[in-house]
Chain A
Amino acid sequence: MKSAVITFPGSNCDRDALDALNKVSNKVQKIWHTETNLDNDLDLIIIPGGFSFGDYLRSGAMASISPVMNEVKRLSQKGVRILGICNGFQILTECNLLPGVLLRNEKIKFICRQLYLRVENTNTDFTNKYKNRQIIKIPIAHMDGNYFAPNDVIKMIEDSNMVAFRYVDESGNVANESNPNGSILNIAGVYNKNKNVLGMMPHPERAIDINTGSNDGSLLFESLKVLF
Chain B
Amino acid sequence: MKVRINIALKKAVLDTQGKAIENSLVKNLGYSQIGNVRQGKFVDFEINETDENKINNIVDSVCDKLLVNKIIEDYSFEIIKN
* Interface residues in chain A, defined as those with a beta carbon under 8 Å from any beta carbon in chain B: 57-58, 61-62, 65, 94, 100-101, 103-108, 148-150, 182
CB distance from A86 to the nearest CB of B (A): 18
Per-residue interface assignment for chain B, residues 20 to 34, with 1 indicating a CB less than 8 Å from any chain A CB and 0 otherwise: 100000000000000
A-chain residues with CB within 8 Å of residue B14 when the two chains form the complex: 103, 106, 182
Among A57, A61, A94, residue most surrounded by chain B Cβ atoms (within 10 Å): A57
Interface size class of B (residues with CB under 8 A): 10 to 19
Contact of A108 among B20, B65, B72 (CB under 8 A): B20
Interface check B56, CB cutoff 8 A? no
**Is the Cβ of A103 less than 8 Å from the Cβ of B72?**
yes
Q: With A104-B16, A106-B14, A108-B20 known to touch, is A57 a contact of B67 (CB < 8 Å)?
A: yes
- Rounded to whole angstroms, the CA-CA distance of A62 and B62 in the bound complex is 12
B-chain residues with CB within 8 Å of residue A103 when the two chains form the complex: 13-14, 16, 72
Taking chain B's interface residues, is the majority helix, strand, or loop, or is none over half, making it mixed? helix
**Is the Cβ of A94 less than 8 Å from the Cβ of B16?**
no
Contact of B71 among A61, A62, A101 (CB under 8 A): A101
Interface check B61, CB cutoff 8 A? no
CB distance from A59 to the nearest CB of B (A): 10
Residue on A with the closest CB to B20? A108
- Rounded to whole angstroms, the CA-CA distance of A17 and B35 in the bound complex is 45
B-chain residues with CB within 8 Å of residue A108 when the two chains form the complex: 16-17, 20
**Is the Cβ of A62 less than 8 Å from the Cβ of B66?**
yes
**Is the Cβ of B69 less than 8 Å from the Cβ of A94?**
yes
Residue on A with the closest CB to B12? A150
A-chain residues with CB within 8 Å of residue B66 when the two chains form the complex: 57, 61-62, 65
Tell me the number of A-to-B contacts counted with CB atoms below 8 Å: 32
A-chain residues with CB within 8 Å of residue B69 when the two chains form the complex: 58, 61, 94, 101
Per-residue interface assignment for chain B, residues 22 to 65, with 1 indicating a CB less than 8 Å from any chain A CB and 0 otherwise: 00000000000000000000000000000000000000000001
B-chain residues with CB within 8 Å of residue A57 when the two chains form the complex: 66-67
CB distance from A57 to the nearest CB of B (A): 7
**Is the Cβ of A100 less than 8 Å from the Cβ of B16?**
no
Contact of A148 among B13, B17, B65, B67 (CB under 8 A): B13
**A-B contact sample (4 more), CB < 8 A, given A65-B65, A149-B71:** A58-B69, A101-B69, A148-B72, A182-B14
B-chain residues with CB within 8 Å of residue A149 when the two chains form the complex: 71
- Rounded to whole angstroms, the CA-CA distance of A3 and B28 in the bound complex is 53
- Rounded to whole angstroms, the CA-CA distance of A103 and B13 in the bound complex is 9
Among A58, A65, A148, residue most surrounded by chain B Cβ atoms (within 10 Å): A58
**Is the Cβ of A100 less than 8 Å from the Cβ of B17?**
no
Among B14, B67, B71, B72, residue most surrounded by chain A Cβ atoms (within 10 Å): B71
- Rounded to whole angstroms, the CA-CA distance of A101 and B76 in the bound complex is 21
Residue on A with the closest CB to B72? A101
Q: With A62-B66, A65-B65 known to touch, is A106 a contact of B16 (CB < 8 Å)?
A: yes
